């Protein structure tokens, strides 16, 4: 590969041919601001904030798309460049609803940060925008186009998911982001994954909040409130309080939740283990009895809704298991209430999840209505801050009994390939007995599609893992065409899995464009798994007790009634 030599602000740097000025600048440790650019999502050069001076170029050029050349000299901070950026920011502000104090992105807004850095005057060009109606009919995502800065990162994220629920409409000054036929997101094939939310640099997209409802339940003397936290939250919640990406803050998180009020906090990793017991049993039953294969995982509500819209013929192939969220809520409103003499109507169940699609899942009638509220990681962080809790300096504590124990297999659910690996551990044990492998590293990693073949016992299993719905579509089409033949397929709607879910802490583009966010977060879960005394779901004593005292055995009649569900075809519009 040919190497290109150039200078960025006088700093020599060498990069492969075809690299952009922005990529070269990163190697030279020179920061160039961006707004529309987002690594792995969009690179179009439309916002014009990354303009620089470069020899051989006519005028200023967009660093994110302009290729380097031999001997090029680039200047990123000349008076002309700084003036251009400031003017661009001020023009953006002129059409932006500047309700910053109450904005969900206040103090964590990319536009706000740039405006401060470049001393932009917010009203230099006046305030020339219409207050557009807020679309809040979706159970998961709220859209406020009055704050939209037309970076189109949300559009690119939705296109990457192969959904296309939102896109640009009209031209020039009249251009807006909207849904086809001007309908609400609620009436589109939006799968509620929230990738548009984490891509948005401002507050034009955010989750539909359940915070007020949860605070109301906590102070209601007739309610007993229980929280449970999803596997990936431990690896991401710390980011909302300034801790490094990839910090395992589980102990502090549990302490913080208990300080919100008279509440209990349980470990959802436990029902990840429960999901594996049900799902692995279902898979082995299909293999032995000639059932529908491949079997697809069902713990991701974004993927399930995607299949209902676009591939309803696959519904019989999807595991009938509920997600860990819905399994836990069902167990709490039945087993837990019976054991402790609680009227289920008085138990208020709160899940803490990385995913905006889980908010949609809560409302699915076929799931029984056991979950009362689903809070994203961001919402939990807001509640902790509102309560005045000093998260960083908290002492660590443990989950409450009887749902405190979980295996490492349950923890890795939060990373793409984690559900597959957890299921393989238990399936391998059931087919091969003791000595079965604990780690299946071929299905690890943040690649969009992974496949492997394993021999477990006397059976050979071909498996595939896909994260991101664009990659899921590729795998499905390969299966439908007969090109690929798998026994088991894991699909997560969000690229990288739950650790990159639509409800995770906001991360500025400078961080997302610099580090492999998905890999660093996932590593925290794999480290947690490796250090856990329990590595397999079938080893979890709390799950064993649950079956012994209440459910009977995996896939029993009672288990099917509480822990399994059905799906149905949905129209695209």
List the catalytic residues: 279, 282, 299, 319, 358, 361, 366, 498
> For residue 352, what is the enclosing H or E element?
strand 347-353
Distance CA 364, CA 299 (A): 14
3-state secondary structure of 54: strand
Give the span between the Cα atoms of 440 and 191, in whole angstroms. 30
User: Is the preceding omega at residue 402 within 30 degrees of 0, hence cis?
Assistant: yes
Q: Given phi > 0 = left and psi -120 to 50 = alpha, else beta, which region is 347?
A: beta
Q: CA-to-CA distance for 144 and 203, rounded, in angstroms?
A: 8
Which H or E run contains 558?
Answer: helix 557-563
Q: Is 85 left (phi over 0), alpha (psi -120 to 50) or beta?
A: alpha
Contacting residues for 133 by C-beta, under 8 A, at least 6 apart:
none
User: CA neighbours within 13 Å on the CB side: how many for 103?
Assistant: 25
Half-sphere exposure of 381 (CA within 13 A, CB side): 23
Contact yes or no for 324/413 (Cβ under 8 A): yes
DSSP result, 150-200 = ---HHHHHHHHTT----EEES-GGG-EEE-GGG--GGGS------HHHHH-
The kind and range of the H/E element at 61 are strand 61-62
Radius of gyration of the chain (CA): 25
Omega cis (within 30) before 446: no
Which helix (H) or strand (E) segment holds residue 472: the answer is helix 469-480
Q: Say if residues 138 and 186 touch (Cβ distance below 8 Å).
A: yes
């Amino acid at each position: 590969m040919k190497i290109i030599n150039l200078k960025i602000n006088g700093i020599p740097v060498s990069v492969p041919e075809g690299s952009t000025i922005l990529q070269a600048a990163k190697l030279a440790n020179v920061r160039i601001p961006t707004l529309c650019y987002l690594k792995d999502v969009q690179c179009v050069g439309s916002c014009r904030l990354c303009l620089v001076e470069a020899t051989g170029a006519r005028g200023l050029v967009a660093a994110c798309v302009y290729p380097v050349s031999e001997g090029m000299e680039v200047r990123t901070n000349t008076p002309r460049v700084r003036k251009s950026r400031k003017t661009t920011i001020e023009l953006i502000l002129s059409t932006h609803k500047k309700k910053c104090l109450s904005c969900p992105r206040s103090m964590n807004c990319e536009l706000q940060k740039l405006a401060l850095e470049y001393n932009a005057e917010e009203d230099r060009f006046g305030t020339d925008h219409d207050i557009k109606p807020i679309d809040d009919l979706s159970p998961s995502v709220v859209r406020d186009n009055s704050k939209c800065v037309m970076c189109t990162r949300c559009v690119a994220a939705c296109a990457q998911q192969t959904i296309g629920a939102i896109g640009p409409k009209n031209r020039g000054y009249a251009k807006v982001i909207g849904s086809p036929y001007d309908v609400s997101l609620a009436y589109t094939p939006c799968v509620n994954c929230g990738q548009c939310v984490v891509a948005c640099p401002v507050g034009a997209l955010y989750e539909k909040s359940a915070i007020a409802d949860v605070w109301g339940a906590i102070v209601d003397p007739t309610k007993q409130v229980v929280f449970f936290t999803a596997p990936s939250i431990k690896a991401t919640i710390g980011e909302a309080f300034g801790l490094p990406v990839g910090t395992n803050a589980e102990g502090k998180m549990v302490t913080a939740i208990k300080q919100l009020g008279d509440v209990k906090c349980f470990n959802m990793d436990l029902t990840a283990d429960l999901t594996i017991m049900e799902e692995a049993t279902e898979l082995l039953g299909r293999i032995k009895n000639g059932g529908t294969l491949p079997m697809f995982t069902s713990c991701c509500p974004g993927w399930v809704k995607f299949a209902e819209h676009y591939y309803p013929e696959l519904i019989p192939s999807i595991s009938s298991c509920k997600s860990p969220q819905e399994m836990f809520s069902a167990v709490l409103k039945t087993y837990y209430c019976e054991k402790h003499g609680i009227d289920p109507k008085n138990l208020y169940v709160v899940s803490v999840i990385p995913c905006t699609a889980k908010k949609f899942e809560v409302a699915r009638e076929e799931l029984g209505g056991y979950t009362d509220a689903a809070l994203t990681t961001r919402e939990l962080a807001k509640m902790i801050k509102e309560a005045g809790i000093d998260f960083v300096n908290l002492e660590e504590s443990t989950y409450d009994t009887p749902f405190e124990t979980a295996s490492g297999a349950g923890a890795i659910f939060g990373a793409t390939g984690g559900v597959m690996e957890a299921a393989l551990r238990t399936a391998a044990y059931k087919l091969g007995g003791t000595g079965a492998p604990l780690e299946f590293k071929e299905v690890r990693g943040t690649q969009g599609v992974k496949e492997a073949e394993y021999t477990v016992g006397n059976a050979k299993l071909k498996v595939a893992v896909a994260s991101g719905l664009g990659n899921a579509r590729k795998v499905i089409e390969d299966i439908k065409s007969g090109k690929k033949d798998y026994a088991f397929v894991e699909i997560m709607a969000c690229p990288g899995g739950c650790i990159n879910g639509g409800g995770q802490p906001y991360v500025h583009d400078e961080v997302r464009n610099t580090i492999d966010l998905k890999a660093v977060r996932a590593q925290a879960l794999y480290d947690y798994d490796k250090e856990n005394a329990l590595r397999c779901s079938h080893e979890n004593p709390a799950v064993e007790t649950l079956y012994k005292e209440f459910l009977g055995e995996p896939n029993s009649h009672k288990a099917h009634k509480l822990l399994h569900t059905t799906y149905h075809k949905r129209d695209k519009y």
